[in-house]
A and B are shown apart, each in its own frame.
Chain A
């Protein structure tokens, strides 16, 4: 391991401990599960990557079971409707895999949160006499997920709910973020830019009228 890699790994473990300290109550939630630090730090894309031919140089690290669970969670977050497809239609779990497998500190923090959260879901599933989260009936999966959403509203009331809220919010951020940066997601919310225009003339009269200018 190079000094650089050793330093990144050391920093990662320090960062994770600091993260746990910062999240206060979430420490209990996260501490129950082993630190999911990547032991061998891979290189990132470097300081001067080719912007016209981007590459993801790090390996994707999630297991099939984890990806399956994430795909299910992703569809609870972003289901298909008449406007746009679901997260799994666009393999947003694949994007989450890229994210949590990245060697950078922020992504490693998210890896810890996401993997600890998936472990927690499996534990809840075993309490319901299922083998794991993936084996639960869809309605039970949805119910567990809804419990996480409620934790957001309760907030840091207990250490458990703080950790659950953090897991929920990072999941939603990554799935919604991955989704709304696809062509289908952008079409859904109505982004119509990134096209060349000869002139920029401002909003049409109808919009000016509606906003009162």
Chain B
């Protein structure tokens, strides 16, 4: 097996790697898929309907399960034996999921498209830099991705500028808004913010063998009925049904092998976790999709005489221009929601509706929004209001903070009155390109297998601070319009002190580090996510991102990955690979 020459090696089985694997195997291309984590099957492993009281510590977060006991993630911010370092003055939280399907097993399934101004921000808005692809080129890849994974969304006529939505022919109907969301929508409308259904990769009608959602179990647990999209259900399982896939799990790729000239990838080196041995696998094409930061690390660790700065790094830009989603949130209490009759607000595990970024062109100038991109506004999910099974930290904690010192009959009355009336409001925003956000290879720290670890460097910019200050003000305006009482505001003190109040990486949207471009001197990859230096090496996770819009990145990761796979198929046929 060590000697075998595979057609394509794909590293990582998440959103990008899973898509490439699916597309290639179904096109008849042989793929060796290497996944650092174990094999995993949401169909048989997901705890659907299980109550927190059945779990240790009522399912609360621990260092073993940092997202809570029932969170699907095998991994977390800290992994034993897999450290990372940060430069002095840098805070960075790096979430890793070590399992087949990666982070798609617990992600929020929010799938907004990047818009025309996001792919060409410099041309269209005079800020940031352009991607080498336009929205017009990406639209059909978005169409095909959404048709494949299944999404619900608004009527296409509701789309506002720069927030394109799936065509009606592709989208499924969205679930109705919750009570808290109806009030949110009303308040937004009165403030001049439009709301509509949030594009989400959760089925409301069956799709193939996947069932429609039944609006109960939190999607972070995974989904045994196939309603909430994950890469195992949607990509790996169908790929396994072809005879074109060889899957090796517990295989931690740490290096891409290349020829002496450093111009042709020949395969990868990986750790076989079961034995601790170092192994090699050879292929004609290598696709890195180990997650953005990990792919950068692998390339930087793939040094040779021909590539002293790392493979594919003649531009010096591997590991540079990292970005993450900015944001702010409030916890508010709604007096009109006190003592309401019991009703079910579970729904899907994300907001059913939201307010997309609404300030563009002269409106944006007039509003004094002096920053690139923008932010979206939503009702915060997970345990707020009546949304989801009550938990200690999500439900009881906030209610107690709102009634300190109470006990006995008074406490019970308090809980009865206020349960369901405390919700969260959040904004998720873009990030401005920043040369101070990058990763290098730590000179001394190594992981348990002796592989050098990444060292993160991070600094938010004044523009990010202005954007977060603006979104914080907007959240307060929306809260006031909802006649809500703000009971928790972690961001106020930070923003006043000139800080964002948020540690980068915390939302697990970190992308960049191998940006695409038209100019090999100013980018790592071409417009098909193929390395300029190494024409048979692709990167198909979040690393190719050029800029970071106020849209969750995963749909764009998948659409770009589908393009990668399509490019590989064509080049194999044309024998240019």
Contacts and interface: CB of A to CB of B under 8 A. Distances in A.
A178 B51 CA distance: 12
A168 B54 CA distance: 26
Contact of B53 (A149, A174, A182, A208): A182
B221 interface: yes
Interface residues of A, number: 69
Majority DSSP secondary structure for residues of A touching B: loop
Interface stretch (A30-38, A131-139, A184-192): A184-192
Contact of B416 (A102, A169, A182, A189): A189
A198 interface: yes
Given A153-B405, A193-B389, A194-B49, A172 B214 contact: no
Interface in B180-226: 182-183, 185-186, 204, 212, 214-217, 221
Contacts of B47: 51-52
Contacts of B45: 51-52
B69 A49 contact: yes
B80 interface: yes
A176 B396 contact: yes
Contacts of A190: 341-342, 386, 416, 419-420
Given A47-B64, A191-B342, A200-B175, A177 B392 contact: yes
Interface string B272-307: 000000000000000000000000000000000000
B50 to A, nearest CB: 7
A63 interface: no
Contact of A206 (B221, B341, B396): B341
A192 B217 CA distance: 13
Interface in B449-506: none
Contacts of A59: none
B396 A173 contact: yes
B344 A181 contact: no
Nearest to A175: B407
Contact of A193 (B63, B179, B183, B344): B344
Interface in B13-32: none
A207 interface: yes
Contacts of A153: 404-405
B148 interface: no
B69 A51 contact: yes
Contacts of A81: 409, 412
Given A49-B65, A51-B50, A54-B55, A188 B179 contact: no
A95 B47 CA distance: 21
A192 B419 CA distance: 12
A173 B400 CA distance: 7
Given A49-B69, A145-B407, A191-B389, A213 B182 contact: yes
Given A52-B50, A173-B400, A202-B179, A211 B216 contact: no
Interface in B364-408: 386, 388-392, 395-397, 400, 404-408
B196 to A, nearest CB: 15
A53 to B, nearest CB: 10
A207 B175 contact: no
Which size class do B's interface residues fall under?
35 or more
Interface string A47-70: 111011011100000000000000
A49 B215 contact: no
Contacts of A150: 405
A199 interface: yes
Interface in B407-436: 407-409, 411-412, 415-416, 419-420
Given A49-B69, A152-B404, A211-B336, A78 B57 contact: no
B411 A176 contact: yes
Contacts of A186: 389-390
B514 to A, nearest CB: 29
Contact of A177 (B58, B64, B348): B58
Given A45-B56, A182-B53, A200 B347 contact: yes
B107 to A, nearest CB: 17
B396 A180 contact: yes
B340 A207 contact: yes
Interface string A16-54: 000000000000000000000000000011111101101
Nearest to B47: A51
A78 B411 contact: yes
B212 to A, nearest CB: 8
Given A180-B415, A202-B178, A98 B337 contact: no
Contact of B390 (A106, A173, A181): A181
Interface in A116-170: 145, 149-150, 152-153, 168-169
Contacts of B241: none
B74 to A, nearest CB: 5
Interface in B316-364: 334, 336-337, 340-348, 352
Contacts of B341: 190, 206-207
Contacts of A51: 45-47, 50, 55, 69-70, 221
Interface in B40-86: 45-47, 49-58, 62-65, 69-70, 74-76, 80
B577 interface: no
A183 B51 CA distance: 9
Nearest to A154: B405
Given A48-B38, A99-B57, 8 more contacts: A83-B416, A149-B405, A176-B396, A177-B391, A190-B341, A193-B345, A208-B179, A211-B179
25 contacts: A44-B63, A51-B47, A52-B50, A77-B411, A102-B62, A104-B63, A176-B415, A177-B397, A178-B392, A180-B395, A181-B52, A181-B58, A185-B390, A188-B412, A190-B342, A190-B419, A190-B420, A191-B419, A196-B216, A201-B176, A203-B343, A204-B343, A206-B341, A211-B183, A213-B186
Interface of A: 44-49, 51-52, 54-56, 76-79, 81, 83-84, 95, 98-99, 102, 104-107, 145, 149-150, 152-153, 168-169, 172-174, 176-178, 180-183, 185-186, 188-204, 206-208, 210-213
CB-CB nearest 7 A-B residue pairs: A202-B176, A190-B342, A177-B392, A196-B214, A200-B175, A193-B346, A152-B405
Interface of B: 38, 45-47, 49-58, 62-65, 69-70, 74-76, 80, 175-179, 182-183, 185-186, 204, 212, 214-217, 221, 334, 336-337, 340-348, 352, 386, 388-392, 395-397, 400, 404-409, 411-412, 415-416, 419-420
